[in-house]
Amino acid sequence: MDGSEVVISAHGNHKPRLLFMGLKRSGKSSIINVVLYKLPPTETVFIPATVVIKKHALYSYRNFQIWDLPGQIDFLETNFDTEGIFGAAGAMVWILDAQDDYIESVGRLTETILQLQQLYPDIKYTVFIHKVDSLGSDFREDIVRDIIQRIMDDLADAGLENPPVSFYPTSVYDDSVYEALSKVLQLLNPQLATFEALLNTLAGACKLQKLYLFDVLSKLYIAADTSPVDMAGYTLCSDYIDTIVDLAEIYGWDRGKLRGSGGARNDGHADGSMALPKADESDAESFINGIRGYCLYLKEMNKYLALIGFSKEPRFAVEKPLIDYNVQVFQDALTAVLALT
């Protein structure tokens, strides 16, 4: 086995697969290392160029594969196992360096989408317009608009109308890359509509401004209610998770034995999804009132997921017992849905 690859598991073929593609030095490996391995963004400049396919795992309520493909190789050529690489892919992320001359990257992207649409029409596409942090605010908007227009025009000229492509400006120096990658993972979630409906009901009942269902370790959210995103509130929730995780490292306890799960990370179904224990009184929760004008509420759903919401309602703290009851009902429903995933 090539030592440069990360072993994912014996059931890797059953996991939803996400492909990272783009020209070399565009920032693919930097994003993966920052999000999955918590590498400080300032140290990404020391990451060597990717020369082989690197396979990474994101262990959560489902086990996701993330494949990092070298940018200097065209994997759609006939001498590569195209079916082995793209056949099981659910989504493809193209990393485009906004600081560089992006004409070549736009051309390669449109060629890739056109070929893959013919062979694997179910793949969904996302473009990370990356490294926008160093661009001025006015110039940044012009660059992003120009890139999107070029890509959509090229695809339309090739006869591909309404292509399944999403666009996100990203940077490893802020939360934009977490927000964008969260949206991509949601494309691989067959129960997303059910999650959103449950979160919408809970948010309305509890008068919460926004609700997220976060994967605790990666800080990616697998679902949210459908209200508009408040980036200030999202950043606050992300920092909240960091604080809780840091405290859990010191004061946490082994809840696997309490739940009878044995603490196993991958003790689940044949398709690689988790066999989730039933929620009980050992689930952690936290409530903070009056942080930058927000009230924050966190409740652990299971060992991988946490519900985090915020509100500006002045009576939020007074009504917390009712909120706790509603969240428990939501947790029971979520557990039932996850058992079917």
**To the nearest whole number, what is the mean pLDDT of the chain?**
85
Q: How confident is the model at residue 254 (pLDDT cuts 50, 70, 90)?
A: low
The predicted model gives 223-231 an average pLDDT of 92
- Distance linking the first and last C-alpha atoms of the chain: 32
pLDDT tens readout for residues 16-61: 999 999 999 999 999 999 999 999 999 999 999 999 999 999 998 8
Per-residue model confidence (pLDDT) at position 253: 60
Q: With bands split at pLDDT 50, 70 and 90, how would you rate the model's confidence at 294? A: confident
pTM: 0.85
Give the residue-averaged pLDDT of 77-105.
92
Per-residue confidence (pLDDT) for residue 252, from 0 to 100:
64
**Cα-based distances in Å from 247 to 222, 244, 284:** 23, 5, 12
Euclidean distance between CA atoms 305 and 4, whole angstroms: 30
pLDDT recorded at residue 192 = 95
Question: How confident is the model at residue 126, as a pLDDT?
Answer: 98
Is it the case that residue 77 has pLDDT exceeding 50? yes
Higher per-residue confidence, 271 vs 217: 217
